[in-house]
Amino acid sequence: MAGKTLQLQPRLQLLADLVPVGAKLADVGTDHGYLPVWLLQQGSISRAIASDINAEPLEHARKTAAEYGVSEQMDFRLCAGLEKIASCEVDTVVIAGMGGETIQSILAAAPWTKNEGVQLLLQPMTKVEMLRIWLSDNGYHFTGERLVFDKDFLYPILCVTGGRGEPISEEESYAGRLLGEEPLYGMYLEQQIRKLQRRIDGLRRSESSDTAEEAGRLEKIRLSMVKRRKDIPCIR
């Protein structure tokens, strides 16, 4: 429909803003396809691949593309992760709105995502601590981290490329490595401190010596994060 413009919610908007102009984009787990459709409508990219493991969401993406007049510029791939996407087709891969373990398994199955010139924008819904450590241990390097508040939730976005960096510490896996300049960092630390506290409480309830040791280690991290939090002015 001519003239109709898609509006993105803040989480997808920040992801869209992080996609470089002229990128060869794959949006993995695209669902409604809003992200690639918006970027194509803006003219900031000229083609995109939208993939999904399920037929119904991919059908939604086709409908969105048709509704906003960008069908000709999109390829739709029904596949798990990056299975039907070749390394030469893309330089920017967005994997958003999925669990950290799913994102990890998608990347583990596509080692070409570590190739020079490939940028990954990852937005896990769960287990971001595990994902940060896995990325750091498996040949990925953090180029940026961002935070966005959307519908009562605070989402971290990890910007990553292939390459070795300083290994992520357990504290950084909770607190983030490159979030210090983000306006919402104080709020993020508070959220992560609460998450740590719940884990510590759970471990303490189980009363074994192993869990007591883990609880002690996590408590040290929690206290260090509380100290970090005190040094940051509160925005929200």
Ligand X SMILES: C[S@@+](CC[C@H](N)C(=O)[O-])C[C@H]1O[C@@H](n2cnc3c(N)ncnc32)[C@H](O)[C@@H]1O
Q: How many CA atoms lie within 13 A of 156 on its CB side?
A: 30
Question: Binding to ligand X by residue 52, rule CB under 6 A?
Answer: yes
Which residues lie closer than 8 Å to 19 by C-beta, 6 or more apart? 25, 35, 39, 44, 45, 92, 94, 121
Nearer to ligand X, 95 or 218 (CB): 95
Q: How far is the CB of 143 from ligand X (least distance, A)?
A: 20
E strand intervals along the chain? 25-28, 48-52, 74-78, 92-99, 119-126, 140-150, 153-162
The two tokens of residue 173 are: 């896996």
Question: 3-state class of 124 per DSSP?
Answer: strand
Question: Binding to ligand X by residue 57, rule CB under 6 A?
Answer: yes
Q: Are 168 and 133 contacting, i.e. CB atoms less than 8 angstroms apart?
A: yes
Site string for ligand X, 163-182 (x = CB under 6 A): --------------------
The span of 40-48, 51-59, 166-174, 187-195 binding ligand X (CB under 6 A) equals: 51-59
Using CB under 6 A as the binding rule, the residues of this chain from 69 to 88 that contact ligand X are 80-81
The two tokens of residue 82 are: 């990056």
Q: How far is the CB of 24 from ligand X (least distance, A)?
A: 18
Question: Binding to ligand X by residue 65, rule CB under 6 A?
Answer: no
The two tokens of residue 42 are: 């803006």
> Which of 53, 78, 154, 179 forms a contact with ligand X (CB under 6 A)?
53
Question: Binding to ligand X by residue 156, rule CB under 6 A?
Answer: no
Q: Contact residues for ligand X (CB under 6 A)?
A: 12, 28-31, 51-54, 57, 80-81, 96-98, 102, 106
